Amino acid sequence: MTGYLDRIGAGLVITDPEPFNFDYVPEELVGREHLQRQLAMKFNVVASPGGAARAIITGPVGSGKTVLAKTFCRDLQRHLSGKRSLKTVHVNCRNASTSMRVAQRILHQFDPGHPDRGLSLGELLLSVRKMIRRSGVHLIVVLDEVDHMLRRSGDELLYQLLRIDEDQEGSGSVSLVLISQEQVLDVLETAVISKFGASNHLRVPKYDLEGLQAIATQRARLALSPRSWDDGILNLIAKKAEPTGDARRVIEVLNSAAERCEARQDDHSLPEISIEDINEVVASSGAVYVTERLEVVDDLPPSVMLALLAMCRRLRNQARMTMGEVEGLYKVVCEEYEQSPKSHTTLWKYVKTLEQEGIIDSHVATVEGGRGRTTHLSMPNLLPTDIAGRLELLLPKRLARR
């Protein structure tokens, strides 16, 4: 009766599900090396006794702000091991959205058993300061989604944390990192901005295609059987997410496609993620970018439709194709519809038209075997099967009018 559970943990495709968790912190952060260097420069003073740093990290959803901060704090602790004792406290202000709750989280991460009921904000921070002095550590406080706290409680907690060493012996007790989608500097008081320093703002852009593919490759190597994926599959997944630049989209599509592939193993199929797996995941989530309307092909000239149909038939089953493959399949489609194929130059113009319309994508890559380079075509933003079906309905009518 429980045979349907046999696939759970089988590991035919997914060997380790943990890297697909959005909270997973990889050993190496890919696609953000230049931002790591910028953040490191802002924390240069932490290497010295009494040094404390400030940073504000802003950027869109899925741009890697949180994982940037987490990997940086982890790596900084390792780097300064033996030179200065560091402790990181990471608080998500969406879950702790008032100054009091944030202060309580900071205290509890330092000492889980410390009582906090009946204590004011000042008393909570005084307890934190005593623990820092007693333990001799430098505390790095990371406030994630800090805009939630600022909207409800203002910036009094930030001001107090920045002044935590005043009237005390020693200095450099606390470094502070703020993370937000919004430009939080606009809602901070002048006194806080002055303490923070406007130059400590680090803007994180959305991921580009190269960064998204690096993430897909990293997670595939960590989570999947080596024979279940190839670079073409990962490139297609990255292109699905490119319009948003959202790393979570890459991880989600790869995970779901791998789950579909794992489920198919009951049918004794090869444990390889297919184009159909990816397209089904994208279609079921409703996240077909650029346009969800198949009507995007309706106004194309019939001659261009023939070229597009040739590409759709191949891209239903593989991630990309070369211009040479397009030419061969285009001639077959023209013969099927009793049309004379156009020249190579004209066909190339058709391809560029389709690219300008956002229907296909092209990039130049090395030919297999390493000799020369050629143009590869893909359809990351639409489903080839659906487009092919619509073209097969339209073409007989359009050609009959000519």
**Per-residue tokens: 165:** 């060493």
**Does domain 32-203 fall into CATH 1.20.1260.10?**
no
Please state, for a pLDDT cut of 70, what percent of the chain lies above it.
90
Most confident of 27-31, 108-112, 393-397: 27-31
Of 242-256, 308-322, 361-375, the poorest mean pLDDT is in 361-375
Coil, helix or strand for 362? Answer: strand
Examine the pLDDT at 306 and tell me if it is beyond 50. Answer: yes
- Residue 1 pLDDT grade (very low, low, confident, very high; cuts 50, 70, 90): very low
Please state, for a pLDDT cut of 90, what percent of the chain lies above it.
46
Nearest-5° Cα angle at 85, 67 to 121:
75
pLDDT value at position 5? 53
**How far apart are alpha carbons 18 and 247 in whole angstroms?**
16
Burial 223-248 (b: 16+ CB within 10 A, else e): bbbeebbeeebbbbbbbbbbebbbbe
Examine the pLDDT at 215 and tell me if it is beyond 50. Answer: yes
**Per-residue tokens: 227:** 């024979």
Fold agreement (3-18+208-285, 294-401): no
Phi-psi region of 62 (alpha: psi -120 to 50; beta: other; left: phi over 0): left
What's the mean pLDDT in 103-107? 91
Phi-psi region of 145 (alpha: psi -120 to 50; beta: other; left: phi over 0): left
Q: Which residue has the higher pLDDT, 375 or 339?
A: 339
Examine the pLDDT at 157 and tell me if it is beyond 50. Answer: yes
The position carrying tokens 């949180």 is: 66
Length of the chain: 402
What's the mean pLDDT in 214-221? 96
What's the mean pLDDT in 32-59? 92
Examine the pLDDT at 64 and tell me if it is beyond 90. Answer: yes
Examine the pLDDT at 289 and tell me if it is beyond 50. Answer: no
Examine the pLDDT at 2 and tell me if it is beyond 70. Answer: no
Of 15-24, 100-109, 193-202, the poorest mean pLDDT is in 193-202
The residues pairing with 58 across neighbouring beta strands, listed in sequence order, are 180, 203
Of 71-85, 158-172, 221-235, 286-300, the poorest mean pLDDT is in 286-300
Whose CA is closest to 239, among 54, 377, 394? 377
CATH number of 3-18+208-285: 1.10.8.60
The position carrying tokens 């994630």 is: 144
Most confident of 76-90, 101-115, 270-284: 76-90
Examine the pLDDT at 3 and tell me if it is beyond 60. Answer: no
**How far apart are alpha carbons 24 and 28 in whole angstroms?**
11
**Number of other residues whose CB lies within 10 A of the CB of residue 199:** 8
Nearest-5° Cα angle at 190, 184 to 196:
60
337-374 pLDDT, tens digit per residue, is 999 999 999 999 999 999 888 888 887 766 555 566 77
Please say whether the beta carbons of 314 and 321 come within 8 A: yes
**How far apart are alpha carbons 255 and 249 in whole angstroms?**
10
Instruction: Give residue limits of the domains in the chain.
Output: 3-18+208-285, 32-203, 294-401
The position carrying tokens 């004379």 is: 340
- Residue 291 pLDDT grade (very low, low, confident, very high; cuts 50, 70, 90): very low
Mean pLDDT of the chain: 86
Coil, helix or strand for 373? Answer: strand
**How far apart are alpha carbons 269 and 402 in whole angstroms?**
45
User: In angstroms, what CA-CA distances link 65 with 57, 144, 204, 283, 369?
Assistant: 7, 9, 7, 28, 39
**Taking every pair of C-alpha atoms in the chain, what is the biggest distance, in angstroms?**
90
Q: Which residue has the higher pLDDT, 171 or 263?
A: 263
What's the mean pLDDT in 267-274? 76
**Number of other residues whose CB lies within 10 A of the CB of residue 311:** 26
pLDDT value at position 97? 85
**How far apart are alpha carbons 140 and 174 in whole angstroms?**
6
| Global pTM value | 0.75
What's the mean pLDDT in 179-196? 80
What fold is seen in the domain 294-401?
Arc Repressor Mutant, subunit A (1.10.10)
What's the mean pLDDT in 68-93? 94
**How far apart are alpha carbons 311 and 229 in whole angstroms?**
22
DSSP per residue, 4-37: GGTTTT--SSBS-SGGGSTT---SS--S-HHHHH
Please say whether the beta carbons of 42 and 253 come within 8 A: no
